[in-house]
Amino acid sequence: MAICFLLMFCFIWMPFFASAALLTPPQNITILSTNMKHFLIWSPVAEIAPGEVVKYSVEFQGEYERDYANDSWIPIAECTDVSVTQCDITEDISATVPYNLRVRASTGTQASLWATLSGFFNRVTNAKVILLTFAPLFLVIFCVAVLVLPFLAWKTCRICQYSFCPDEVLPDTLKLTASPAKILKEKGEEMEKYDESVQVLPSEDILLHFWIHETL
C-alpha cells in the first residue's frame, strides 16, 4: 500500500519537478550603484514556451537574518513577480552591513532555482569603490574647468560690454566736422595754393642770391 501511494505521489508531482528544471535561473546578477541608488540587475531568462511571461522575484538577507533568524530571507514586495530584469533595492539595504541577494524566475506553476549574488554587498564599501574609480575623471574635469572657466567669463564680459553698454563719447578733436569727400576736396585745394606760391628761379638767379647772401 505504501509503495502504491509513493508511486502515485511521484506520478502526480513528477511533471512539476521536470518542468521546473527546464526553467533556468537568472544569470549575470550584479548591482549597479549610481546617485546613491542601488539596483539589482540580471539577464533575462528565455521562455520555455511561446506566449509565457517570465516573472522574477527578489529576496535579500542581512546580517541579522544570517546570525539571529535561522539564515532566513526577506522578500522585496516591489520586486515580487515582476517582468522587468532589475530591482531597486535602495530602501531594503539601508543599513551599513553586508547584504546578500538572490533572484529566481517563474512562469505559471514553474519556478527556477534561486540565483544568488556572488559575494556580499555593502552600500558604504561600494560607494567608496565607485569614488576611487571615477576620481581621475573628476580630477580631469576639475582641471579643465579651472583653466577654461576664467577665459569664458572674460569673453562673456567683453561680449556683454559691446552688446549692452552704450558707446563711449569721442573727444571733439577726433570727431569729423564734415564728410570725408569734402575734407579731401579742401585738402586738394590747399595743396594747389601751395604749388602756386612756390616760384621756380633760374640757376643764374639762384647763384646771384647765394653770392649776395654770402657777401652780406
Mind listing the pLDDT tens digit for each residue in 21-40? 478 999 999 999 888 889 99
Write out the three cell numbers for 120: 556580499
The reported pLDDT for the residue numbered 52 is 85
The reported pLDDT for the residue numbered 171 is 58
pLDDT in tens, the chain (216 residues): 455 444 455 445 554 444 444 789 999 999 998 888 899 999 999 877 777 899 999 999 998 999 898 999 999 999 999 999 999 999 998 888 999 999 999 998 889 999 999 989 987 776 544 444 445 666 778 777 777 788 788 778 767 665 555 555 555 555 556 666 777 777 677 776 655 555 555 556 666 666 666 665
The reported pLDDT for the residue numbered 132 is 44
Which helix (H) or strand (E) covers residue 74, if one does? Answer: strand 74-82
Which helix (H) or strand (E) covers residue 87, if one does? Answer: strand 86-88
Q: Which amino acid is at 180?
A: P
Find how far residue 16's CA is from the centre of its chain: 48
Find how far residue 50's CA is from the centre of its chain: 40
Q: How far apart are the first and last CA of the chain?
A: 166
The reported pLDDT for the residue numbered 90 is 92
Does the predicted TM-score (pTM) go above 0.75?
no
Q: Are 91 and 3 in contact (CB under 8 A)?
A: no
Distance CA 25, CA 85 (A): 12
